[in-house]
């Protein structure tokens, strides 16, 4: 079983892939968003644009978070992965049916395949065979 810090490193590698393709979510210029685990084991998100450190368990508005609700939900799922090791929900990264935002709600096009594969490679998302069996 990986530690929280080790899982955070894997999440940050995944966020780098998200920032390097498609619409470059979680990246502003050369700054990338990242997740951190403090000395007490609490999980924080450091925003790429505002550079603010955001406590991910806060239920209200996240001051300094420069993205929308879909990406905030993804950050929460990443936080849960760091805390417990649980996989991201299977629907988090598609593929999506064509009736849902034309099958491309992130507008990442073919790059979404790369994003999904990065999540699988980093152990954040169940491989397709496991996802169907679960």
Render pLDDT for 38-55 as a digit per residue (tens, 0 to 9): 999 999 999 999 999 999
User: Does residue 14 sit in helix, strand or coil?
Assistant: helix
What is the pTM for the complete model shown?
0.91
* Cα–Cα distance measured from residue 133 to residue 90, given in angstroms and rounded to the nearest whole number: 12
Q: Identify the CA nearest to 121 among candidates 2, 7, 1, 10.
A: 10
* Cα–Cα distance measured from residue 111 to residue 36, given in angstroms and rounded to the nearest whole number: 26
Give the Cβ contact number of residue 117 at 10 Å.
14
Q: Which pLDDT band, with edges at 50, 70 and 90, does 116 fall under?
A: very high
pLDDT at 133: 56
Q: Identify the CA nearest to 64 among candidates 46, 79, 91.
A: 46
* Cα–Cα distance measured from residue 129 to residue 106, given in angstroms and rounded to the nearest whole number: 24
């Amino acid at each position: 079983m990986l530690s929280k810090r080790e899982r955070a490193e894997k999440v940050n590698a995944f966020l780098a892939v998200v920032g390097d393709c498609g619409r470059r979510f979680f990246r502003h210029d050369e700054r990338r968003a990242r997740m951190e685990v403090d000395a007490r084991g609490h999980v924080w998100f450091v925003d790429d644009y505002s550079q603010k450190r955001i406590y991910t368990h806060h239920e209200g508005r996240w001051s300094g978070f420069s993205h929308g609700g879909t990406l905030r939900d993804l950050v929460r799922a990443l936080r849960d992965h760091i805390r417990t090791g649980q996989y991201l929900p299977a629907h988090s990264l598609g593929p999506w049916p064509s009736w849902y935002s034309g099958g491309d709600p992130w507008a990442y096009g073919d790059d979404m395949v790369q994003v999904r594969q990065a999540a699988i490679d980093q152990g954040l998302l169940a491989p397709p065979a496991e996802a169907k069996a679960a």
